[in-house]
Each structure stands twice: as C-alpha cells, then as structure tokens.
Chains A and B, each alone.
Chain A
Amino acid sequence: MAIHTQYKSVTEIHDAYDRKILSPIEFVRDYLNAMKSSGLNAYLTISEERALAQAKQADMMLAQHGKVPRDKKPLFGIPMAVKDNLVMDGVRTTAASKMLENYIPPYTATVVERLENAGAISLGKTNLDEFAMGGSNENSAFGAVKNPDALDRVAGGSSGGSAAAVRAQLCQFALGSDTGGSIRLPASYCGIVGLKPSYGRVSRYGLIAFGSSLDQVGPMTQSVEDAARVLDVMSGFDERDATSSPTPKGDYFNSLQKDLEWSSLKIGVPKEYFAEGLVPDVEKSVRESLKWFESKGAKLVPISLPHSPYSIAVYYIVAVSEASTNLERFDGVRFGVRPQGASEARDLEEFYKKVRANFGPEVKRRIILGTFALSAGYSDAYYKRACQVRNLIKMDFDEAFKKVDVIMGPVAPSTAYKIGEKSSNPLEMYLNDLYTIPANLAGLPGISVPCGKDSKGLSIGLQMMSPIFTEAKLLRIAHGFEKERASS
C-alpha cells in the first residue's frame, strides 16, 4: 500500500515518526510520486525542491531529537498543500489565472510562514477557480479539478484543488480560502472537513484578495482533530493584516478533549435552509444527523433567519464590488503577464485593456457587475442598499444566537454535479451558495463535516455555524459528531 494513504491524522504520523517506521523524506517522496500521477488536476505547481529540502531538514531534526519535537513544531513533518491564491516567496503563484501565469511572488503569506515554521512541508499549490471566483473549480484557466469520488463530476469551488488533494490523500491537509463558501462547499462535495474561521481570526496577508470584507483562509482536512491542530498554528493576530483581530485565540486541539454536555446544547435549525431548492437526499442526510444530536440529548430549536433569501443578492453585489476594486491592481505594471503587443499600446489606457484581456470570463463578468454597482448614480441603489441588507442578515444571526448555541443545516443544495452541467448559466451557479454566503456576510465561523452520501454514493456535508470567535466550541461539537456518530 502506498505510504501516503496509510495515515489518517497528524497524531498517527507523529507516532510513526517516533517509532521510526516512517521518515519525513520517504513520506514526502511517496506523496510527490502520487501527486504526479493522480489525473485529478488538483495541483498547479509541485514545489518539489522546497518539499524535499524541508523533508531533509525534518529528517535531521528527528535524528537529533530522537522524537518529534511536538512542542516547538506541532506540525512537524506534515505534508500540506497550499491553495494557489496564497503567495509563496520563490514559488509560482497563479490564482489559476493567465494574468499571473508566471508570477513569482517576493514574499510568503503569513499563514504559510506560520505553518512552515511549525514544521509543515509545502508539497505544492492547488488549483482553484480563477481569483477564487466560482463554486465548481471549472473557472480555472488551467482546467477543471475532478472529484476523486467521481471523475466526471466537479470537486466544488473555489478551493476544489485543495479539497480533491485532501480527499485523494495527495497531502495530509490543505489550505483553502472562503469568501462565499469556497472552503465549505468543496469540502462537502469531496467528503472532507472544511473550516472557515471567523472573519479576522486568520491573517489575510499574502492571500490574493477577492472580497476583503468576506475572505478568510482556513484548513481543509481528513478530520476535525487535524483542522483544530492547523487552526492552532495558523490563527492569531498579524500586524501585517489590518483586519486581523487581537481577540485571544482558543486552544483548539486541547479543547477537543473537554467534556461536552450534550443535554445543554441548543441547536438552531433555520426553516429557510430547508426550503425550496434543497435536494431530498441531502435533506434526509442532514435531518438524520440532527436526529443523532437529539438522541445524545441536545435540543433542536426551530429558528428563522428571515433575511436569508436575500443573501445571494447581497453577496453578488458586495463581493463583486469589492472584487472590482481589488482587481484594479492587475494592470500589467508591477506584476502580471504583458500579452504580445501590449507594450506597443498608444497610451496607458489601451495598455491596461490589453493586459486585462488575461482575465477569464467569470472574472470579467464580476468586475463589470461590481464596477456598475459602485458607479455614480447607481451605488446608492445597489452597493449601499446591499450593505444595509447585509446588516439585516447579521442582525438575524445576533437574534438567533440569543436562543441557541450553534446553527446547523446543509452546506449545499445538492451533491457534486457533472462537469459542464451548470457552467453555461452563471446565475444558476450562484444559487448553490445560499447556505454558505450568510456566514461570510456576518463574519461567523462555519464548518462542513461529512454526514452521509446520496443514492449515487456522493458526499453530503453538514454545516455548523457559531458566534464570532467561538471556534473552540464549534470544533468540539463537530469533533463529537464525527467521532461518536462514526462509532455508533
């Protein structure tokens, strides 16, 4: 059996390193081989040199210490994949766009720095929807990502490459980013764990910006326990990100060991999340999961988030407006590909247009929509109004959390659909985000945990959301569901 599929958690890997039945370098070499022949298109760049150099260092350190130095390096020798919208010094970073096809960043994202300093080994950069804009990973300039459980189906997006890599065990964990569901939805479609932390919990420094008031980087893993370990390392204040919060972080992995009083847990079930559009198999699996919580003694409390139906409309004004501004920097001046003939442009304006032809159609569509929503004469009716409704959506959650501890429901209305099935109608694609967008609008943490499969054997995810900066409790509940239900 290939080495890379034998280990299900950081705990197991560290144990194997300690017992000398596994070494970092042989582990990494096995991953690199598997990555090169997977056929999933999950990776855009394999950082072989970097990975081997980091693995050799880990080997030396292990020889010196005799055991894994868990205190200093909590992710010692753990192979990770990095979504290709996170910059790494010296490693090609494309955001899955022709615009950045050959871009070599001069710096490394804070989250990657922290994880590498904690011992994680960077295997490579994963595929995504271009500039993180999409829900299926079909918008990549470098091809779609295949769902490892069904190769003719989407992996979900925008962190499709990361989700597929974790599912196919082409890394031990991956980093994703989530602006409207881009970690949680692919996690649901690929049957893995995906956490979007609270806004401001994890530094966005080095994340190529899409929607600055919505974006968060988060872990995508095989288990909740690994997600907690990764969050322990990646989270926390960063002075280089002005939106990063100094609110004290939790002790996530250690909190998983705490006792959980199921009988005092109140779970909010929003009626709006079980309405039109939800596919029967998904509803069945989610409701069965909720019944399991009830059987443990938790109380299911029906709640209403009355402005939920407006979430998609709000998002497709706010996110695209922020994107149109964020993507102005792609003008070919300081970075990015200058197409043939661009330098012969008569003036700067023509030059910009030639360079910006590098964007794919979904990116162009969103830039145009956002530019319109912010333009003079329309910004009050569109952008400002959307921000006001955003406030109403946030207030719905504030009200709900007075009555319940956590809110649960589906992650996506369906399971993974076929590649090409929805890509001709943008609006139809946008409607898939209805359960995930609200957490981004309100800044709340949200996690997707596998809860079942549909009649075709495709994965279904259960979503849990909790108040801002309460990841420790959220992870504890998710961990309980994952571990106890599996064994029951």
Chain B
Amino acid sequence: MSDVPQLKASKVNEALTRQVANLARLELTDQEVTTFTSQLSDILAYVDQLQKLDVSKVEPLTHPFGTSIEALAPLREDIVKPFMTNAEGKPKVLDSAPEAYEDGFKVPPII
C-alpha cells in the first residue's frame, strides 16, 4: 500500500496541534487547543479512508484542467503592467494599509 508515514488517529495530540498552529502563525488558547485537537482527530480519521485506494498509477490532479492546461489556460508573457496610483502618485495599495510610511508598509522590527 502506502510506504509514507501515516498519522494514526491516536497521534493527533495537543502537542501536534500546537506545533501546526505555530507553523501557521496562529495563537490558540488552551481551550482551543483541546477542542481543535479533538475535532482534527475526527476529521483526520474521516479522511484516512483515502489510504484504502490504490493510487500507484494515478497522476495527482492539482488543477481541474489537468493535462489540458496549456490549451485551456495558456500562460502570457511575464510583463509587469502598472497598478493604480493614488492622487499623490503613490501606489494606491498604501491607502488601505493599516500603517504606511512614505512608500512602504510599517511593521514592528523583524529581529
């Protein structure tokens, strides 16, 4: 069958939930960790039925057009086209920024 590691329902524990939440830059309360762990465990147990199928000769389909993608949605030349500028000639996206400074978005220090 499959020779890749398969998560057993019993291994979906709170430590894993915290680990994955961290990867997704989500902060969960202790209550959320407990609730989510239980719900995720149920959901993963449900999706595990996919392990029953023999997919050894099946290509993954990541896009509905499949192998016809070149014909149905051909790519265009990678040419940059200008986006909108506001009344001051600055990029209009800055207008909806939570905090902007000159031509940039303002954020806390990275390091």
A residues near B (Cβ < 8 Å) are 103-107, 199-200, 213, 239, 242-247, 307, 310, 312-314, 316-317, 324, 331-338, 343-349, 351-354, 356-357, 359, 361, 364-365, 367-369, 371-372, 375, 377-378, 380-382, 384-392, 394, 426-427, 430, 441-443, 468
Which of A199, A314, A369, A390 is the one whose CB lies under 8 Å from B40? A369
The answer to whether A313 and B23 touch across the interface, beta carbons within 8 angstroms, is no
Which of A313, A337, A394 is the one whose CB lies under 8 Å from B98? A337
The answer to whether B93 and A334 touch across the interface, beta carbons within 8 angstroms, is yes
The answer to whether A394 and B55 touch across the interface, beta carbons within 8 angstroms, is no
- Contact A371:B23 (CB < 8 A) given known A377-B5, A389-B50, A394-B61: yes
A-B contact count (CB 8 A): 182
* Distance of A333 from chain B, by nearest CB (Å): 5
The answer to whether A364 and B28 touch across the interface, beta carbons within 8 angstroms, is yes
A430 contact set on B, CB distance < 8 A: 43
B87 contact set on A, CB distance < 8 A: none
Question: A365 vs B58: C-alpha distance in the bound complex, in angstroms?
Answer: 29
Question: A284 vs B33: C-alpha distance in the bound complex, in angstroms?
Answer: 43
The answer to whether B109 and A392 touch across the interface, beta carbons within 8 angstroms, is no
A345 contact set on B, CB distance < 8 A: 108
The answer to whether B7 and A378 touch across the interface, beta carbons within 8 angstroms, is yes
Question: A378 vs B20: C-alpha distance in the bound complex, in angstroms?
Answer: 12
- Contact A213:B63 (CB < 8 A) given known A244-B73, A324-B24: yes
Chain B residue at minimum C-beta to C-beta distance from A343: B108
The answer to whether A310 and B50 touch across the interface, beta carbons within 8 angstroms, is yes
Which residues of B (56-75) have their CB < 8 Å from a CB of A? 58-66, 72-75
The answer to whether B7 and A375 touch across the interface, beta carbons within 8 angstroms, is no
Question: A245 vs B76: C-alpha distance in the bound complex, in angstroms?
Answer: 12
The answer to whether B110 and A443 touch across the interface, beta carbons within 8 angstroms, is no
* Distance of A237 from chain B, by nearest CB (Å): 9
A378 contact set on B, CB distance < 8 A: 5, 7
> What are 17 A-B residue pairs whose CB atoms fall within 8 Å in the complex?
A105-B96, A242-B73, A307-B53, A313-B47, A333-B107, A334-B93, A335-B93, A353-B27, A356-B24, A356-B27, A364-B21, A364-B28, A369-B40, A387-B60, A390-B61, A394-B64, A426-B39
Given contacts A106-B86, A388-B61, A442-B64, 14 further A-B contacts (CB under 8 A): A200-B64, A200-B65, A333-B105, A334-B93, A347-B108, A368-B36, A369-B40, A380-B4, A381-B5, A385-B2, A385-B50, A387-B61, A390-B61, A427-B43
* Distance of A176 from chain B, by nearest CB (Å): 19
The answer to whether A106 and B75 touch across the interface, beta carbons within 8 angstroms, is no
Question: A385 vs B62: C-alpha distance in the bound complex, in angstroms?
Answer: 11
Question: A221 vs B64: C-alpha distance in the bound complex, in angstroms?
Answer: 26
The answer to whether B50 and A368 touch across the interface, beta carbons within 8 angstroms, is no
B6 within 8 A of partner (CB): yes
Chain A residue at minimum C-beta to C-beta distance from B53: A389
The answer to whether B76 and A239 touch across the interface, beta carbons within 8 angstroms, is yes
B97 within 8 A of partner (CB): yes
The answer to whether A381 and B6 touch across the interface, beta carbons within 8 angstroms, is yes
Question: A387 vs B98: C-alpha distance in the bound complex, in angstroms?
Answer: 37
B80 within 8 A of partner (CB): no
* Distance of B36 from chain A, by nearest CB (Å): 6
The answer to whether A372 and B20 touch across the interface, beta carbons within 8 angstroms, is yes
The answer to whether B20 and A392 touch across the interface, beta carbons within 8 angstroms, is no
B103 within 8 A of partner (CB): no
* Distance of A462 from chain B, by nearest CB (Å): 23
The answer to whether A335 and B96 touch across the interface, beta carbons within 8 angstroms, is yes
Question: A337 vs B99: C-alpha distance in the bound complex, in angstroms?
Answer: 10
B residues near A (Cβ < 8 Å) are 2, 4-7, 16-17, 20-21, 23-28, 32, 36, 39-40, 42-44, 46-47, 49-51, 53, 55, 58-66, 72-76, 83-84, 86, 92-93, 95-99, 105, 107-111
Which of B25, B62, B98, B107 is the one whose CB lies under 8 Å from A356? B25
B53 contact set on A, CB distance < 8 A: 307, 310, 389, 392
Question: A368 vs B40: C-alpha distance in the bound complex, in angstroms?
Answer: 9
Which of B7, B73, B75, B110 is the one whose CB lies under 8 Å from A347? B110
The answer to whether A335 and B49 touch across the interface, beta carbons within 8 angstroms, is no
B93 contact set on A, CB distance < 8 A: 106, 334-335
* Distance of B6 from chain A, by nearest CB (Å): 5
The answer to whether B62 and A213 touch across the interface, beta carbons within 8 angstroms, is yes
Chain B residue at minimum C-beta to C-beta distance from A380: B4
Chain B residue at minimum C-beta to C-beta distance from A353: B27
B5 contact set on A, CB distance < 8 A: 377-378, 381
The 4 closest A-B pairs by CB, nearest first: A443-B64, A387-B60, A391-B61, A388-B55
Chain B residue at minimum C-beta to C-beta distance from A384: B60
The answer to whether A332 and B98 touch across the interface, beta carbons within 8 angstroms, is yes
The answer to whether A368 and B21 touch across the interface, beta carbons within 8 angstroms, is yes
A356 contact set on B, CB distance < 8 A: 24-27
The answer to whether A354 and B96 touch across the interface, beta carbons within 8 angstroms, is no
* Distance of B59 from chain A, by nearest CB (Å): 6
- Contact A103:B59 (CB < 8 A) given known A359-B26, A381-B7: no
Question: A467 vs B87: C-alpha distance in the bound complex, in angstroms?
Answer: 47
- Contact A351:B107 (CB < 8 A) given known A368-B40, A391-B66, A426-B43: yes
A367 contact set on B, CB distance < 8 A: 24, 26
Which of A200, A316, A352, A391 is the one whose CB lies under 8 Å from B43? A316
The answer to whether A348 and B61 touch across the interface, beta carbons within 8 angstroms, is no
B109 contact set on A, CB distance < 8 A: 347-348
Chain B residue at minimum C-beta to C-beta distance from A442: B64
* Distance of A141 from chain B, by nearest CB (Å): 16
